[in-house]
Amino acid sequence: MLLNQFLILSAVLFSIGVYGVLTRRNGVMVLMSIELILNSVNINLVAFAAFREAIPGEVFALFVIAVAAAEVGVGLAMVLLLYRNRRNIDLAGIDSMKG
Amino acid sequence: MTGFFLSQIQGLDPLTSDEVLVAQNVFFALIALVMILAALKMVTTENIVHAALYLVIVLAGAAGMFILLGAEFVAVTQILVYIGAIIVLFLFGIMLTKGSFGTEEGELRERNRMAVLVAVLIVAVTSGSFIDSFRDAELNRQAPSTTADIGDSIFGQFIIPFEAISVLLLAALIGSVVIARRDQ
Amino acid sequence: MMIIASDPLLSSDIGFSVVAIMLLKVVIAFALLMVSVMLVIWFERKIVADMHNRVGPSLAGPWGILQTLADGIKLFFKEDLLPERADRVVFRLAPYLSLVPAFLSFAIVPIGGDFTNGGDGTVSIFGHRTLLQVADPPVGILLFLALSSIAVYGVMLAGWSSGSKYPLLGSVRASAQMISYEAALGLSMATVFLFSGTLSTSGIVSGQATWNWNLVSTGFIPFIIFVIAGTAELNRPPFDLVEAEQELVGGFHTEYSSIRFALFFLAEFMNMITMSAIAVTLFLGGPNGPILIKQIAWVWPILWFFLKVMAFLFTFVWLRATLPRLRYDQLMDLGWKLLIPASLGWFLLIAALNIGEDRGWSTFLIVPIGLIVLSLAALLLNGAIKKAKDSSLHAADLSEISEGVDQ
Question: Rounded to an integer, what distance in angstroms lies between the CA atom of residue B169 and that of residue A90?
Answer: 27
Q: Do the Cβ atoms of A49 and B71 come within 8 Å? A: yes
Chain C closest-CA separation from residue B138 CA (Å): 13
Q: Do the Cβ atoms of B93 and A76 come within 8 Å? A: yes
Count of residues for chain B? 184
Class of residue C345 by CB neighbours under 10 A (exposed 0-12, middle 13-18, buried 19+): buried
- Would you list the domain boundaries of chain B? 2-103, 146-184
For residue C376, being part of any structural domain is answered with: yes
Rounded CA Rg of chain A: 17
For residue C309, being part of any structural domain is answered with: yes
> Does C165 lie in the same domain as C127?
yes
What subunits touch chain C, counting only 3 or more CB pairs under 8 A?
Answer: B
> Does C239 lie in the same domain as C366?
no
Q: Shortest CB distance from B84 goes to which of C150, C395, C396?
A: C150
Residues of B with Cβ-Cβ distance to A37 under 8 angstroms: none
Looking at residue A2, the DSSP 8-state letter turns out to be B
Mean pLDDT over A41-63 rounds to 91
Q: Do the Cβ atoms of A17 and B43 come within 8 Å? A: yes
Per CATH, is B2-103 categorized as 1.20.120.1200?
A: yes
Residues of B with Cβ-Cβ distance to A89 under 8 angstroms: 101
Q: Shortest CB distance from B127 goes to which of A3, A8, A17?
A: A8
Rounded CA Rg of chain C: 24
Looking at residue B156, the DSSP 8-state letter turns out to be T
Q: Do the Cβ atoms of B20 and C145 come within 8 Å? A: no
Q: Do the Cβ atoms of B137 and A51 come within 8 Å? A: yes
For residue C154, being part of any structural domain is answered with: yes
Q: Are C152 and C175 in contact (CB under 8 A)?
A: yes
Chain C closest-CA separation from residue B26 CA (Å): 15
For residue C71, being part of any structural domain is answered with: no
> Does C380 lie in the same domain as C295?
no
Residues of A with Cβ-Cβ distance to B62 under 8 angstroms: 39, 42-43
Question: Rounded to an integer, what distance in angstroms lies between the CA atom of residue C252 and that of residue C170?
Answer: 5
B146 CB-near residues (< 8 Å, 6+ apart): B73, C138
Rounded CA Rg of chain B: 23
C328 vs B162, residue with greater confidence:
B162
Q: Do the Cβ atoms of A28 and B94 come within 8 Å? A: yes
Highest mean pLDDT among B4-8, B115-119, B160-164, C7-11: B160-164
Residues of A with Cβ-Cβ distance to B90 under 8 angstroms: 28, 31-32, 72, 76
Q: What is the pLDDT of residues B4-26, one digit of tens each?
A: 444 444 444 555 667 777 888 89
Question: Rounded to an integer, what distance in angstroms lies between the CA atom of residue B35 and that of residue B47?
Answer: 19
Nearest-5° Cα angle at B177, B174 to B180: 145
Domain region containing C283: 76-353
> Does C252 lie in the same domain as C235?
yes
> Does C259 lie in the same domain as C289?
yes
Preceding peptide of C254 cis, ω within 30°: no
Q: What is the pLDDT of residues A64-83, one digit of tens each?
A: 999 999 999 998 888 888 88
Q: Are A44 and B144 in contact (CB under 8 A)?
A: no
> Does C383 lie in the same domain as C273?
no
- Contact of C17 with chain B, judged by CB distance below 8 Å, is answered with yes
> Does C329 lie in the same domain as C390?
no
Q: Are B84 and C152 in contact (CB under 8 A)?
A: yes
Residue B37 has pLDDT above 90, yes or no: yes
Number of domains present in the structure of chain C: 2
- Please give, one letter per residue, the 3-state secondary structure of chain C: CCCCCCCHHHHCCCCHHHHHHHHHHHHHHHHHHHHHHHHHHHHHHHHHHHHCCCCCCCCCCHHHCCHHHHHHHHHHHCCCCCCCCCCHHHHHHHHHHHHHHHHHHHHHCCCCCCCHHHCCCEEEECCEEEECCCCCCCCHHHHHHHHHHHHHHHHHHHHHHCCCHHHHHHHHHHHHHHHHHHHHHHHHHHHHHHHHCCCCHHHHHHCCCCCCCHHHHCCCHHHHHHHHHHHHHCCCCCCCHHHCHHHHCCHHHCCCCHHHHHHHHHHHHHHHHHHHHHHHHHHCCCCCCCCCCHHHCCHHHHHHHHHHHHHHHHHHHHHHHHCCCCCHHHHHHHHHHHHHHHHHHHHHHHHHHHHHHHHCCCHHHHHHHHHHHHHHHHHHHHHHHHHHHHHHHHHHHHHHHHHHHHC
Residues of B with Cβ-Cβ distance to A30 under 8 angstroms: none
pLDDT score for B101: 44
Q: Are C204 and B124 in contact (CB under 8 A)?
A: no
Q: Which residues of chain C have pLDDT under 50?
A: 1-5, 406-407
Residues of A with Cβ-Cβ distance to B161 under 8 angstroms: 63
The single-letter code of the amino acid at B119 is A
Fold for A3-92, please state it.
Helix Hairpins (1.10.287)
Longest dimension (CA), chain A: 54
Residues of B with Cβ-Cβ distance to A58 under 8 angstroms: 71, 73-74, 145, 150
Of the candidates C228, C284, C245, the one whose C-alpha atom is nearest the C-alpha of residue C110 is: C284
> Does C172 lie in the same domain as C286?
yes
Of the candidates B27, B93, C341, C5, the one whose C-alpha atom is nearest the C-alpha of residue A76 is: B93
Residue pairs between chains A and B whose CB atoms are closer than 8 Å: 241
Interface test with B, best of A30, A37, A42, A95 (most B CBs within 10 A): A42
Q: Are B65 and A9 in contact (CB under 8 A)?
A: yes
Residue B104 has pLDDT above 70, yes or no: no
Q: What is the pLDDT of residues B63-84, one digit of tens each?
A: 999 988 888 899 999 999 899 8
Q: Do the Cβ atoms of C176 and B92 come within 8 Å? A: yes
Mean pLDDT over B173-177 rounds to 90
Chain B closest-CA separation from residue A54 CA (Å): 9
For residue C155, being part of any structural domain is answered with: yes
B113 vs C37, residue with greater confidence:
C37
Q: Are B81 and A65 in contact (CB under 8 A)?
A: yes
Q: Do the Cβ atoms of A81 and B122 come within 8 Å? A: no
